A and B are shown apart, each in its own frame.
Chain A
Amino acid sequence: GAVVSQHPSWVICKSGTSVKIECRSLDFQATTMFWYRQFPKQSLMLMATSNEGSKATYEQGVEKDKFLINHASLTLSTLTVTSAHPEDSSFYICSARRSPLYNEQFFGPGTRLTVL
């Protein structure tokens, strides 16, 4: 149990376009989902925390108008990178947590975004 999927697993897009990444909890309901960004050979940096039915909380330095997060249901959160530029190229990983009472976050397999 506790499987998190992401779609797509990789995407290549042109500069200026928008890209949507989906994060789904397949066998549990997630009240909270987290979005991370990972540059090559670097650590995961938390971008935002998303609670179902409410606005996402963004970390300092993350542009909320550029990285749109929607958590419309207990099993789905989406991250939309708007007007993507080459510097947005990165590995985006989501994680999901059942509720604040639960300790563990379950991570998705990640989405590799390349912006040309």
Chain B
Amino acid sequence: GEDVEQSLFLSVREGDSSVINCTYTDSSSTYLYWYKQEPGAGLQLLTYIFSNMDMKQDQRLTVLLNKKDKHLSLRIADTQTGDSAIYFCAERYNQGGKLIFGQGTELSVKP
């Protein structure tokens, strides 16, 4: 079945690293994504990783993929107050290419 799960909340101090975790169920997913949503706004694609990769780094963002455990994480280095938002992971379901989203993790960054 289609299921993506995330923890709901994460609170960090400004300057620390944040790690947001996600588990998924569809082992045939080709792409996994991280999106950011600010209050009242749509989704902004942060990064994505192809399923045959273990890691992808993009400036302050590092994505780790453990395909065996179906576990995806997003690490934000030097977290800033502007990073406060809800972060969604999503898997691209192989049939039809639709996206299945997790519940979202609300990241709160305290100064």
Interface residues of A (CB under 8 A from B): 4, 6, 34, 41-46, 49, 57, 93, 95, 97, 100, 103-110, 112
Contacts of A106 in B (CB 8 A): 45
Contacts of A34 in B (CB 8 A): 98-99
Tell me, yes or no, whether B82 is within 8 Å of chain A by CB: no
Which residue of chain B has the shortest Cβ distance to A112 in the bound complex? Answer: B40
In the assembled complex, the Cα of A100 lies from the Cα of B96 at a distance in Å of 9
In the assembled complex, the Cα of A100 lies from the Cα of B92 at a distance in Å of 12
Report how many residues on chain B are interfacial, defined by Cβ distance under 8 Å. Answer: 20
- Contact digits for B20-52, partner A, Cβ 8 Å, 1 yes 0 no: 000000000001000100001111110010000
Which residue of chain A has the shortest Cβ distance to B103 in the bound complex? Answer: A43
24 contacts between A and B (CB under 8 A): A34-B99, A41-B104, A42-B104, A43-B101, A43-B102, A43-B103, A44-B43, A45-B101, A46-B98, A46-B100, A49-B96, A57-B96, A97-B97, A100-B97, A103-B31, A103-B48, A103-B92, A104-B45, A106-B45, A107-B35, A107-B42, A107-B43, A107-B45, A108-B42
In the assembled complex, the Cα of A45 lies from the Cα of B41 at a distance in Å of 16
Per CB-CB distance, the 4 closest pairs between chain A and chain B, nearest first, are A107-B43, A109-B42, A107-B42, A43-B101
Please tell me if the beta carbons of B103 and A93 are within 8 angstroms of each other in the complex: no
- Contact digits for B45-61, partner A, Cβ 8 Å, 1 yes 0 no: 10010000000000000
A34-B98, A103-B31, A103-B48 are known contacts. Are A43 and B42 too (CB-CB below 8 A)? no
- Minimum CB–CB distance from B65 to chain A (whole Å) comes to 15
- Minimum CB–CB distance from B23 to chain A (whole Å) comes to 14
Q: Of B41, B88, B92, B100, which contacts A109 at CB under 8 A? A: B41
Question: Which of A4, A49, A105, A110 gathers most chain B CB within 10 Å?
Answer: A105
In the assembled complex, the Cα of A104 lies from the Cα of B44 at a distance in Å of 11
Which residue of chain A has the shortest Cβ distance to B50 in the bound complex? Answer: A103
- Minimum CB–CB distance from B51 to chain A (whole Å) comes to 12
Question: Which of A46, A93, A108, A109 gathers most chain B CB within 10 Å?
Answer: A46
Contacts of A100 in B (CB 8 A): 97
- Minimum CB–CB distance from A62 to chain B (whole Å) comes to 13
